[in-house]
Structure 1
Amino acid sequence: MTDSTGFNIRALPEALQNHLIKDYFSNEGLEYNLIRVPIGGSDFSTHAYSYDDNHKDDFELTHFNLTDDDRNYKIPYMKSALKVSPHKIKFFGSPWAAPAWMKNNSELVHGGYLIGQPGEKYYKTFAKYFVK
C-alpha cells in the first residue's frame, strides 16, 4: 500500500474505488489478507521522504512524524480494506531507506549505508524507527 497506490486509487470515481478495494480484499474478490506498507517513501513514491528527514542527530526520534502521503494515500485505503475483509488483515512495514541523516551518503536515494556498526547508536535508532 504505497502512497502511489493510494494516489492512483483516489484518482478513480468513488464507486470504482470501492469496487477495487472489494475486488482485492472482500469475500467477493481475492481476499488478500497481507499488506506491505512502506515506512516513509519508496521507489513508487512521487518524492523521496522518511518520517524524520529534517532533524539531524534526532536519536530520540522526537521529530518522527507521519506525512500527508500517509494521511491521504495510505491510511484511508488500509482502513477501507479492513472494513470489507472477512479476514484479519496483517500489515507489515518496511522502509525503502533510513532517514538521510542516518546514512553515510546523507541521501534518501543513491544507496548508502547506516553510519557505524551494528549495535551502535545509528543502528539502535533505526531499530526504534521501525518500532515507531
Structure 2
Amino acid sequence: QKVKGFGGSVTDAAALNILSLPETAQNHLLRSYFSDEGLEYNLVRLPMIPLLHRALAMSKRPLSLYASPWTSPTWMKTSESYVGKGTLKGQAGDKYHKTWANYFIR
C-alpha cells in the first residue's frame, strides 16, 4: 500500500478558532502545518471553507483535498436533525440527491 501523504482535518470549529486569531497568528499557525518551515502537510480533509486558499498559497507541495460537509441540511435528512442517525431522503436522481450533488459542484 502506498502512502499518499500526511495531514489533518480542519473542522468548522477549528476554522472559527483560527479566524478569531490576529492575522499574524493565523499565518504563523497555517505556516507551521503547510509550509516548508513547518510540517509540510500535503493532505487535508475539510468542510468547504476559505482557509483552503491560504493553505494552498503557503504550501510548496500540492495538497490533496477532501472537501466535505459534516452532514446534509436537516430538511434533506430522514431524521430532520443534525445529530443522530439519518440518511439523505429519497432515491438516486430525485430532487434531494440532485440538490446535494449541485452543492458539491458549486
TM-score normalised by length of structure 1: 0.60
- Note if 1:79 corresponds to 2:53: yes
Equivalent position of 1:46 in the other structure: none
The amino acid that maps onto 2:78 is N
Select which of 13, 18, 29 maps to 1:9: 18
TM-score normalised by length of structure 2: 0.71
Equivalent position of 2:35 in the other structure: 26
- Note if 1:89 corresponds to 2:63: yes
Q: Which runs of 5+ in 2 are unaligned?
A: 1-9
Q: Deviations over 1:51-109 (max 9, x none)?
A: xxxxxxxxxxxxxxxxxxxxxxx31x322212211112233211221121211222233
Whole-Å Cα distance in 2 between the matches of residues 123 and 14 of structure 1?
A: 39
Equivalent position of 1:35 in the other structure: 44
Q: Secondary structure at the match of 2:65?
A: strand
RMSD of the TM alignment (CA)?
2.1
- Note if 1:103 corresponds to 2:81: no
Tell me the number of residue pairs that the alignment of Structure 1 and Structure 2 aligns: 97
Whole-Å Cα distance in 1 between the matches of residues 15 and 85 of structure 2?
A: 26
Q: 1:99 to 1:10 in 2, by over 3 A?
A: closer
Whole-Å Cα distance in 2 between the matches of residues 10 and 129 of structure 1?
A: 24
Q: Relative CO higher for 1 or 2, CA cutoff 8 Å, sep ≥ 6?
A: 1
Kindly state the Cα deviation for residue 2 of structure 1 after the two structures are TM-superposed.
Answer: 2.4
Whole-Å Cα distance in 1 between the matches of residues 78 and 92 of structure 2?
A: 14
Q: Secondary structure at the match of 2:71?
A: coil
Q: Which runs of 5+ in 1 are unaligned?
A: 40-73
- Note if 1:115 corresponds to 2:89: yes
Kindly state the Cα deviation for residue 24 of structure 1 after the two structures are TM-superposed.
Answer: 0.4
